[in-house]
Amino acid sequence: MDAIEAIKSRRTIRRFKQTRIERAKLLELIDCARRSPAGGNFQAIEYVIVDEPQICKRIFACLAWAGHVRPRRNPAPHQEPTAYIVVLADNEIKKYESAAADAAAAIENILIAAHAMGIGSCWLGSVNRDEVRNILQVPDNFTIDSVIALGVPDESPVMDDCSDHNTKYRLDENDVLHVPKRTVESITHFNSF
C-alpha cells in the first residue's frame, strides 16, 4: 500500500477482533511516530505501550467513544482494543502548548502506519487523564495528550463526501458507520479566500 492509498483508505476503527498485536509491530508504530516533524526538533513526545489485557481493561474504562453514535458504537467486551499507545508530552523539554502540534504529527504517523500494517486505530482525546496517569504511573512533568486504541479491525466504516458542514457521522440500517468529509472543492481556495 503506498502512502496516498494508506491516507485515503484509513478509517477510524472502534470494533476490534481479539487478536493480540505483536510487540515488534507496536514498536514499529513508535518508530514511525518518532520520525514525525517536531518544532525546533525538541522531541518532547514519549509513549506508553499498553498490551497487557488487565491493564487494557483499566484503560478502556477511562475512555469515551464515538459521541455522535454513543452508546451504539461503544466497543462490546468482545470487540475492545487489544493494545493502546498513550501519547505524552514532556513539559520539561517543551511546554505542552507547543508540543501538542508535535504530538498530533506523531499520532497521524501512527494511524497511517497502523492502517498500512492491517491494524485498526482510534485516536481518543476524551480521556480520564487523572485515572490514566494513576494506572500508568505517569510522572507529573508529562501531559497526557491522547490515547490511541489499537487492534485488528472488526468493522469497515465508510467515508461519504459532503459539501456542507453536516459532518456528524451516523450508523446505517446495517450498522455500518458512515463518516462524512467535506469535499476538496468546498474547503479549497486558490490565491485568496
Query: Domain containing 109 — which CATH number?
Result: 3.40.109.10
103 and 26 housed in the same domain: yes
Percentage of the chain with pLDDT > 70? 99
Closest to 137 in 3D by CA, of 99, 100, 76, 86: 86
176 and 150 housed in the same domain: no
Percentage of the chain with pLDDT > 90? 84
Angstrom distance (rounded) from CA 13 to CA 19: 15
95 and 189 housed in the same domain: no
Cell 497487557, residue located? 52
What confidence category does residue 181 fall into, taking pLDDT thresholds of 50, 70 and 90? very high
Partners of 182 in the beta sheet? 162
86 and 133 housed in the same domain: yes
149 and 165 housed in the same domain: no
Angstrom distance (rounded) from CA 141 to CA 132: 14
Angstrom distance (rounded) from CA 73 to CA 183: 25
Provide the number of structural domains found in the chain: 2
Over residues 133-176, the pLDDT tens digits come to 999 999 999 999 999 999 999 999 999 998 778 888 888 999 89
Angstrom distance (rounded) from CA 136 to CA 26: 17
66 and 38 housed in the same domain: yes
Angle CA 9–13–14, to nearest 5 = 165
Average pLDDT of every residue of the chain: 94
Note down the domain range covering 163.
157-193
161 and 104 housed in the same domain: no
Q: For residue 168, how many other CB atoms are within 10 A of its CB?
A: 12
Angstrom distance (rounded) from CA 132 to CA 144: 8
Strand order in the sheet with 177-182: 158-162, 177-182, 170-171
> What is the reported pLDDT for 64?
92
Residue type, 174: N
Query: Domain containing 191 — which CATH number?
Result: 2.20.180
Angstrom distance (rounded) from CA 52 to CA 57: 9
> What is the reported pLDDT for 69?
74
68 and 124 housed in the same domain: yes
Q: Is 77 helix (H, G, I), strand (E, B) or coil?
A: helix
The answer to whether the beta carbons of residues 13 and 121 sit under 8 Å apart is yes
92 and 56 housed in the same domain: yes
3's CB contacts (< 8 A; 6+ apart) are 112
49 and 123 housed in the same domain: yes
137 and 113 housed in the same domain: yes
Mean pLDDT of 82-103: 95
- CA atoms within 13 A of residue 154's CA, in its CB half-sphere: 18
Mean pLDDT of 16-38: 98
112 and 192 housed in the same domain: no
